[in-house]
Every structure is written in C-alpha cells, then in structure tokens.
Amino acid sequence: MRRFDNKVCLVTGAASGIGRATALRLASEGASIAAGDINEAGLQSLAVELARMGAPCMVIPFNALEEASNRALVHRAVEQFGRLDVLCNIAGACRADHFLDIGLGDWERMFSINVTSLVAICQEALPHLCESRGNIVNMSSASALCGAAYWSAYAASKAAVASLSKCLAVEFSGKGVRVNAVCPGGVNTTLATTYSVPPDVDAALVRRLFPLLPAAEPEEIAAAVAYLASDEARYVTGVAFSIDGGQMT
C-alpha cells in the first residue's frame, strides 16, 4: 500500500515505541516524515532507519513541556516540507500514584505533556491541515474510557485527549479536516514496562484493567493510526478508536 505518497506527516513521540512504529509505517507507505521527540538519540536512530528505506525525513528535537518548543516543531516541519497533511500526536508520559499522594505540580506536568502540548501543536498545525484537507490522530488510552485506580492523572489527561479530539473534529469538519483519537490498551513499549506502581496498591483494582488478550506490539497500534490517517478513513472522524485486546469489553 502507498496510502501516503506525496503526503507530509508530523509524528511526535517518534523516538520510540508507538511513535517510532508509526513513523516507520507511514514512511513505508510513501510519506515524508517530520519526527519530533525529546530523545535525540532515539530520533537519530529513527533517521538512520528512514534513510535506509529511502524515506524523506527530518528530525526535530522538542520538549512537550515548553510552549515555544511545541509551536516551533510545526513551523520547522512546514518550513522544511512546505505543507502538512497528517499530524500524529503520540508523545506522552505515564505515572501511577495513590490519588491522595499526587502533588498538583506532578498532576500539572502530566497534563502539560499529554494535553497542553497537543493544544499548542494542534493550534499551529490546523491552518496547514485546513489547506491540505488533512487530518490529526491523537494518542489517547483505554484508561480514558474507564475508571483506572492509581492512574487518575494519566487517565484523566488521556480522557482530555479523547474529548479534545472530538471537539476539534466538530469544529473543523467544515474545513475538511478529520480528527480522531486512538485508545490502546497494553502495548509492549518502554512507557508500559518502566513506570512504577506504589507497592501497597489493591491488586484486584489493578486487575480490572487487564485486557483479554496478550499485550499488543507498537506496530499493531501504528497500523490503526495509519488507517485513521489515510484516505480510506474518509468517513471516520471524532472517534475514540479502541485497540485494547478486549480491555473495555
């Protein structure tokens, strides 16, 4: 499939996990890739892989916690490639705490990376996406759709991502821009395997979140992102697309 021939795709979180898999998938289908992340070594490794595939690519280090950095990310991508067709907001962070122990600073940091960064990036990208009649795919989470004990900051931030996606889908429908969210369950990535859970949690409450199927690989989530970002999904907008091994079933 060459669903992204002549398309320019900006992918955040592209240094690892789902973002990296998405950049590689879109490039394998013809896209030019602007890849953003805070992890410069991971971006360089991606650039080597994309060069091997012959895919046009630029890497853009950015920090989701800084407004100017978020906005510059889009400017640099458009400056390089002259247009923008697809924005995949995939960078994100996760933490687990007892609700009573979360400092407001940590809560705000979670929202800053997972939500406010997307707001700034979408604001910069949308005028270009209106021109190209492009689309946005935002990375939410299965935890956005259920009660997730100990993950309140993360889950609430991802619920905000799903809601933001629906709001933008409605507001920009008349401009020909589609906006969707993806809600993965457990995916084998650094994020899923490295966060720590407080030692004294109630295991039964955590088990409520277990999917029916073994964890997904990043490439399986990337395939869903690629579908939503492609013209095959012309009639799909404003969805929170679950790909969660039956977690919400």
Ligand X SMILES: NC(=O)c1ccc[n+]([C@@H]2O[C@H](COP(=O)([O-])OP(=O)(O)OC[C@H]3O[C@@H](n4cnc5c(N)ncnc54)[C@H](O)[C@@H]3O)[C@@H](O)[C@H]2O)c1
Query: Which residues are annotated as catalytic?
Result: 154
To ligand X, the closest distance from the beta carbon of 189 in angstroms equals 3
Picking from 83, 240, 229, the residue whose alpha carbon sits closest to that of residue 158 is 240
Segment 30-69, which members bind ligand X (CB under 6 A)? 37-39, 42, 62-65
| Residue recorded with tokens 């490794």 | 45
Q: What are the distances in angstroms from CA 238 to CA 51, 136, 166, 174?
A: 34, 10, 4, 13
Cβ atoms 186, 216 nearer than 8 A: yes
d(C-alpha 80, C-alpha 32), whole Å: 10
Segment 133-152, which members bind ligand X (CB under 6 A)? 139, 141
Segment 149-208, which members bind ligand X (CB under 6 A)? 184, 186-187, 189-192
Window of 51-59, 89-97, 102-110, 169-177 that interacts with ligand X by CB under 6 A = 89-97
- What angle, 0 to 180 degrees and rounded to 10, lies between the N-to-C axes of helices 40-53 and 17-28? 20
Near ligand X by CB under 6 A: residue from 31, 47, 59, 90: 90
To ligand X, the closest distance from the beta carbon of 224 in angstroms equals 12
The pair of structure tokens assigned to 159 is: 């619920």
Near ligand X by CB under 6 A: residue from 7, 8, 11, 17: 17
d(C-alpha 37, C-alpha 23), whole Å: 12
Which CB, 22 or 32, lies closer to ligand X?
A: 22
To ligand X, the closest distance from the beta carbon of 16 in angstroms equals 4
The pair of structure tokens assigned to 5 is: 């021939």
Residue ranges in contact with ligand X by CB under 6 A: 13, 15-19, 37-39, 42, 62-65, 90-94, 113, 139, 141, 184, 186-187, 189-192, 218
